[in-house]
Amino acid sequence: MLREVTATRYLAPLHSGGSVPGVVEADDLGTYVVKFTGSAQGRKALVAEVVVGELARALGLRFPELVLVHFDPELGASEPHQEVRDLLNASRGVNLGMDFLPGARDFTPVTARDLVVDPLEAGRIVWLDALTANVDRTVHSSNLMIWPTFGTVPPRLWLIDHGAALVFHHRWDTSDPEKAYDLRHHALGHYGPDVRAADAELAPKVTRELLGEVLAEVPDAWLAGEPGFDGPQQVREAYVDYLAARVRASAAWLPTCFPSREELAAEEARRAARIQQGRPDWLKHVPDLHGRPSAQQDWSAHLG
């Protein structure tokens, strides 16, 4: 089961994500990035974080440790932003924390310029994302970190932020285990991900037993009240059934076509041109600030 800790100090909100997670210190002397139950994304985002993150760890991918964080909103009483205080006040009790990686940087074309990504490693990550319907690891928003970024230890890729995965659990009645998702613009697509080798290696490891162990990590409270199900355990079984069926159907959804760097650049140029053509003359010399979101700030910068 996930370790439980109690938050002792609220350090800062991270405004780079829609859920506005916060950095906290806990009674085990650890520092964690916490996603709160009161966020607009709701508890299903936390379920996805646990399921995909723990599955990634079980498959040997680098993912920060997750913990259950008991949080008292009084710790954030001095937070100056009302919307953040409202979020904290709505999140009393157990929330989800991810181990803070000091100095970690977002994976971007600039920060990854000298990073070596093996095709098999890229393939494993793409395979996991295809399995779990995670379409939110793109060239524009990688949800990958590079860490460490100092010392003599070589930097490595770390996976983060899977709240948008498991899209099927928003519409159980229409979910199809064979559905293929568009991963052509995956953040690692231009590294030549060897997804066939990853499928041969990883699919046999994703057994019903493993899936059951992963779902057991999700607190009952985050699964309770799901329409159409008789309690948390039945919801867990539905996740296991769906993901096990999806593993068996990998031939139907395995992504194998990824554009090259040059093709991505050409697509970006065409997109920018279309936007520019649709602008009034007085705006045509103003940069498009929304076409390529800037990288999230270095986590450590939020700690002042």
Give the model's pLDDT for residue 269.
Answer: 85
Q: How far apart are CA 76 and CA 52, in angstroms?
A: 29
Q: Helices (DSSP H) in the chain: which residue ranges?
A: 43-58, 82-89, 119-131, 195-202, 208-215, 232-248, 250-253, 261-277
Q: If DSSP codes are grouped into helix, strand and coil, which group holds residue 42?
A: coil
- Give the chain's domains with CATH numbers: 3-104 (3.30.200.120)
Give the model's pLDDT for residue 150.
Answer: 87
Give the helix, strand, coil percentages of the chain, each rounded to 5.
Answer: 40, 15, 45
Give the model's pLDDT for residue 65.
Answer: 98
What's the one-letter identity of residue 232? Answer: P
Is the C-alpha dihedral spanning 59, 135, 91, 212 positive or negative?
Answer: negative
Give the model's pLDDT for residue 285.
Answer: 60
Residue 70 bridge partners (DSSP):
6, 94
What's the one-letter identity of residue 146? Answer: I
What are the tokens at 106? Answer: 């977002």
Give the model's pLDDT for residue 43.
Answer: 97
Length of the chain: 304
Backbone angles phi, psi at 133, to 5 degrees: 55, 45
What are the tokens at 144? Answer: 């990958």
Strands 66-71 and 3-13: parallel
pLDDT in tens, 192-234: 999 999 999 999 999 999 999 999 999 999 999 999 999 999 9
pLDDT in tens, 12-23: 999 876 789 999
Give the model's pLDDT for residue 277.
Answer: 81
Question: 40 near 91, Cβ under 8 Å?
Answer: no
Give the model's pLDDT for residue 218.
Answer: 98
- Positions of the chain with pLDDT lower than 70, given as ranges: 17, 279, 281-304
pTM of the model: 0.89
